[in-house]
Structure 1
Amino acid sequence: EIPKTITDQIQQYIQNESLKKKERKILELFIKASSYTDSEIQEICAAEGIRFIAQSVMKFMEEYINKLNDQGHDWIGFRVIGMSTY
């Protein structure tokens, strides 16, 4: 089988998994660009009614990255560094 790009893998994951609205939006963001700052993620998500109230964007990203890695989706390649996610 031909290896899929990370973008293709993310799109396939979005289509095949039952995701929360916030998780889906975060993954869709990383199809469009490879890095975002905390404030960029907050602003984009807020425009669609997605809020980060109970926890910060970076805390959410760290937990979501760990969840994906635990599920065997280490292909995602996200890393939280300071106030940015790559």
Structure 2
Amino acid sequence: MRARVRSRCEENPNNIPQTPVPSLSRDAFDPRLRPLTVRVRVAASMLGIGRSKLYELIAAGEIETIKIGNATLIPVECLESLINSRRARIRQS
């Protein structure tokens, strides 16, 4: 007697893609840990500006980027520096 092989549809009758849920360590939720870098989309969101404006700031040399493979990363420290310098300009005027 041959064992019956189940098709993909029988295993997942609704044909819903099932993605594995990554396991996160407890360190991922530690509020004392923060990312050293973020991607462009996240950086723009953190600053409350659009990606185009962020790319303008990068082109002007106001924000540093780091390329790792295809990823463009922005040090969080540079974002904080930008905000602090802009706040200092406002206070001086």
TM normalised by structure 1 equals 0.30
Q: Which has the larger radius of gyration?
A: 2
More strand by share: 2
More helix by share: 1
TM normalised by structure 2 equals 0.28
The structure with higher relative contact order (CA 8 Å, sep 6+) is 1
